[in-house]
A and B are shown apart, each in its own frame.
Chain A
Amino acid sequence: MSVMERDNLLFQGADWDFGTIQRIHDAVEAIGVGEMGLDVYPNQIEVITAEQMLDAYASIGMPLFYKHWSFGKRFALHEASYRQGFMGLAYEIVINSNPCISYIMEENSATMQTLVIAHAAFGHNHFFKNNYLFQEWTDADGILDYLEFAKGYITRCEERYGHAAVERVLDAAHALMSHGIHRYPRKKRPDLRSEERREKERHLHLEQTFNDLWRTVPTKGAAAKPQLSDERRRALLELPQENLLYFLEKSAPRLQLWQREILRIVRQIAQYFYPQRQTKVMNEGCATYCHYRIMTRLHETGQISDGAFLEFLQSHTNVTRQAEYDDPHYGGINPYALGFGMMQDIERICTKPTAEDREWFPEIAGSGDAMAVLRDVWANYRDESFISQYLSPHLMRQWRMFHLVDDPDQPELRIEAIHDERGYRRLRRSLSRHYDVGWSDPDIQVIDVDLAGDRRLILHHHVLNRTLLHKDDAQRVLQMVANLWGYAVVLKEVEPSTGAIFQEHVAHPHETLF
């Protein structure tokens, strides 16, 4: 290595200080923004210890969060397995906020810090800022303020109404978290900063508009009141409704104002994380592709040494390793591996397309500018659409993918499709469906309320592939729904095509709970 190249190095050895981090960040920025055209929120890099990383794990990676026992449980679980050496900690955690906060561990070597900054502070950051789901569903500017408000609000509730009462509402809200999401965009983009103000306004509005006319105590004349038509009633209650938390927050007759607000807080947070669940492969793929490109460029320009590059490669290959199905370590498809594989495949199609690629991807094959294509992909797709659009026959062959179906009515498992001419499209369609949260989450909706009678709430689970709900869990969650609703709740598991009912769960509220 010549003297000049040595001078060019960002760091030597494993040690680093804040000056090194600054130099690394600037060098990575030069490549990421300058050469690759990434568009990122300003970065805020925070150095933390292993214990703080465990803390962050417990609160879903967020820097501040309200208090709940389940986070304590998660912390205990992680801590136990970490102390026994069963689990390594992540090198970083990155938060979708503006400025984008990346936590990096103090134990990381200088090479790892470079990798982490390239991965999180540029890869994930670009994805958060540009992907349409994040733009539509999350409010990066307001999230930290909102969490602050939520934390304070729940603490005040605990002081005022007692730990136990708040815990019961939170337990119920957490159980329904996966069904507390609006799946279709609403008119307005979320604005979490105004949430605190709106909470006060709602409160005020209710006080100001209190009207004795709405009292429900029956009078003699009221008996003659015409029944609302079914249609009208459902329209008023916005039924059918798949966002159970939203429905309970707005329509449960017996909840206190603060209980509704807690449901709302949990719902907002669930909504904030909703895009992350839908873009696991793309998000990690984007970050992994970015760090690979950036690290390679740093090495090519002599800014990191051969030794550092080898250290990076070792870690990189670990992360992007995909075990085969018959490997004892097989644990499902690795989103890093699939995402990175597909991003690299797109680069290959753009620069060195084969005849097959030209047939499958006429609009991008041979376009030459891989980064432009990738930036477009990162902005406009989620996992499901990304896979159904861009998984190439080449990659399916390389991974030797096949589709296995387990039908309990058949005596044996069947290979439905493999990586051949007849199977490509079916294989791709089934894989993309695995990443569709609308398909993988059970579809449960509020269908109706018996307003005139016993106020029973009726939920339907539209059964897919004859897979029913986990019975024990369903009963427990239903109990919580009943407690929130204040009256009996029925959950029917229905086959959508025929309307046949497989199973019915019923829960009655514990009168004393709320």
Chain B
Amino acid sequence: MYIIDRRLNPGGKSLANRQRFLRRAKAQIQRAVRQTAGDRDITDLERGGEVTIPADGVREPSFRRSGEGGVHDHILPGNKRFIEGDTIDRPPGGGGGSSSGGDNGEGDDDFRFALTRDEFLDLFLDDLELPDLAKRRVATVETQGLRRAGYTVTGSPVNLALLRSMRNALSRRIAMRRPKPHELLRLEEEIERLETQEGPSEHLTALRQELEQLRLRTKRFPYIDPLDLRYRRFEPVSRPVAQAVMFCLMDVSGSMTEHMKDLAKRFYMLLYIFLTRRYKHVEIVFIRHTHEAKEVDEETFFNSPETGGTVVSSALREMQRIVEERYSPDAWNIYAAQASDGDNSPNDGSTSAALLRDVLLPVCQYYAYLEVGSDSDRMQTGFINHKTSLWQTYETLQEQGAHLAMRKVNHRREIYPVFRELFRRRDAEAGARVP
């Protein structure tokens, strides 16, 4: 008899099967994930979760008898009052009887199972792609860098590879039989001892000769030779920029209600999750503005009340300043999302438009404008007459060909579809639009 402890065997034996299953049912699972995400609180998005898909797509059919029609018979235990020949009324719900449904396994029910967090997010973000990916070549934004690439025999002293050089020297010394210091020392001591004790002899002369030869050899084969030197070699490479900064701009004047701020927050969060999936390192800058703009921390950004007028260009100017100061467009992918209820002071429109068009949009990968409304004015969405001043400004910009995404949102459940729309793959669309 053998006892084998398998508990420490690597787990996840079913992983390959699971991947095959997810691939098989991808369309349905994706639909389910989309629905789940719509119902869910956005802070929960990073969790995995249970999804339900229709069993039909993953059915394993076989030749089996149908449960209906034909004669069925059952042997049942627990008879209490029947005798042979008795008849019983058919139970409601028609034929079949009590036991036939269970063991066929595959009902027409939905199929429920749990996705891990990674699987969930992967599916969630799967058909989203960076905006205008092809056109603006986000993925290929590159910086030049150096990469170690082995050793070379020439180079500048700072690049000297000490360890490698010394190793070469050591092996050369061993190969050339360069006398070791302690050998010389021993010989010298021996000669000295002989000189003081015995005076000249043949043995002494031989030793002196040997010492002379060894010294010569030591000189001929130096401890370290230019031949031994090695330098670290570097190769220039271009690497994609793996960091992004996300600017959150928000109007915090009195006209923005809690509800509107909440909508904006959810949008920012979604954007953040999205960016963290794409980039190794994501920073967030919060800029809030009334008639003047200020960079603040997240807590203040969402929670502390502020009063004043509304001058959008102040926020844009602040963003411009921060970009110039800290986030060089060469090294950073810059994303900006602006949330506002659409108010702007009447004389600021052209300033904002110019700033955006000439300064900010060229350095941004993506600029989104999210106009948040209150729950009650849902009905008015889409009315041509009801355009806020900021919306009109940006719309003009867009017509001039600026890359600017704009959406209006009134309710939490509209955020996700909007997000999807903003970020969906543009290839097909772009192909259709560009003649």
Residues on A close to B: CB < 8 A? 18, 21-22, 25-26, 29, 42-49, 51-52, 54-55, 58-59, 67-73, 75-77, 79-80, 83, 99, 103, 106, 163, 167, 171, 174-179, 322-327, 330-333, 399-408, 411-420, 422-423, 427, 430-431, 434, 442, 444, 461, 463, 465-474, 476-477
- Residues of A within 8 Å of B22, CB to CB, are 72
User: Can you give 9 A-B contacts (C-beta < 8 A)?
Assistant: A46-B4, A76-B114, A331-B102, A406-B90, A413-B90, A415-B88, A467-B66, A473-B59, A473-B61
A76 pairs with B18, CB closer than 8 A = yes
Q: Tell me the bound Cα distance from A99 to B1 in angstroms.
A: 9
State whether the Cβ of B85 lies closer than 8 Å to any Cβ in chain A. yes
Given A44-B4, A331-B102, are A52 and B61 neighbors across the interface (CB < 8 Å)? no
- Residues of B within 8 Å of A106, CB to CB, are 7
- Residues of B within 8 Å of A99, CB to CB, are 2
Given A44-B4, A325-B98, are A163 and B20 neighbors across the interface (CB < 8 Å)? yes
> B71 touches which one: A51, A174, A418, A467 (CB < 8 A)?
A467
Q: Tell me the bound Cα distance from A400 to B25 in angstroms.
A: 47
Q: Tell me the bound Cα distance from A269 to B20 in angstroms.
A: 21
Q: Which residue of A lies closest to B2 (CB)?
A: A44
- Residues of A within 8 Å of B11, CB to CB, are 49, 51-52, 55
B76 pairs with A404, CB closer than 8 A = yes
Given A80-B112, A468-B70, A469-B66, are A406 and B97 neighbors across the interface (CB < 8 Å)? yes
Least Cβ–Cβ distance between A31 and chain B, in angstroms: 15
State whether the Cβ of B79 lies closer than 8 Å to any Cβ in chain A. yes
A73 pairs with B58, CB closer than 8 A = yes
Q: Which residue of A lies closest to B108 (CB)?
A: A472
Least Cβ–Cβ distance between A483 and chain B, in angstroms: 13
- Residues of B within 8 Å of A176, CB to CB, are 62-63
- Residues of B within 8 Å of A399, CB to CB, are 77-78
Given A69-B21, A401-B76, are A412 and B89 neighbors across the interface (CB < 8 Å)? yes
B70 pairs with A465, CB closer than 8 A = yes
Q: Tell me the bound Cα distance from A71 to B111 in angstroms.
A: 14
- Residues of A within 8 Å of B82, CB to CB, are 402, 415, 418
- Residues of B within 8 Å of A167, CB to CB, are 20, 24
Q: Please classify the interface of chain A as helix (H, G, I), strand (E, B), loop, or mixed, using the class held by over half of its residues.
A: mixed
Q: Which residue of A lies closest to B64 (CB)?
A: A470
B20 pairs with A52, CB closer than 8 A = no
Q: Which residue of B lies closest to A476 (CB)?
A: B61
B63 pairs with A415, CB closer than 8 A = no
Q: Tell me the bound Cα distance from A468 to B70 in angstroms.
A: 7
Q: Tell me the bound Cα distance from A103 to B9 in angstroms.
A: 13
Least Cβ–Cβ distance between A321 and chain B, in angstroms: 11
> A403 touches which one: B50, B73, B78, B103 (CB < 8 A)?
B73
Residues on B close to A: CB < 8 A? 1-7, 9, 11, 13-14, 16-25, 50, 58-67, 69-80, 82-90, 95-99, 102-103, 111-114
> A331 touches which one: B75, B85, B99, B112 (CB < 8 A)?
B99
B76 pairs with A402, CB closer than 8 A = yes
Which of B13, B16, B90 gathers the greatest number of chain A CB atoms within 10 Å?
B13
- Residues of A within 8 Å of B96, CB to CB, are 406
B63 pairs with A473, CB closer than 8 A = yes
A408 pairs with B69, CB closer than 8 A = yes
A477 pairs with B6, CB closer than 8 A = no
Least Cβ–Cβ distance between A144 and chain B, in angstroms: 14
For the complex of A and B, the 10 pairs showing the least CB-CB separation, nearest first, are A324-B78, A72-B21, A467-B70, A72-B17, A76-B113, A325-B76, A69-B20, A412-B87, A476-B61, A473-B61
Given A71-B14, A80-B50, A331-B102, are A412 and B73 neighbors across the interface (CB < 8 Å)? no
B64 pairs with A72, CB closer than 8 A = no
- Residues of A within 8 Å of B77, CB to CB, are 322, 324-325, 333, 399-401
> A68 touches which one: B17, B63, B88 (CB < 8 A)?
B17
Q: Tell me the bound Cα distance from A324 to B99 in angstroms.
A: 12
Q: Tell me the bound Cα distance from A209 to B90 in angstroms.
A: 64
- Residues of B within 8 Å of A177, CB to CB, are 62
A415 pairs with B99, CB closer than 8 A = no
- Residues of A within 8 Å of B62, CB to CB, are 175-178, 473, 477
Least Cβ–Cβ distance between A444 and chain B, in angstroms: 6
Given A406-B71, A415-B88, are A72 and B65 neighbors across the interface (CB < 8 Å)? no
Q: Which residue of B lies closest to A80 (CB)?
A: B113
> A83 touches which one: B2, B6, B114 (CB < 8 A)?
B114
B114 pairs with A72, CB closer than 8 A = no
B71 pairs with A415, CB closer than 8 A = no
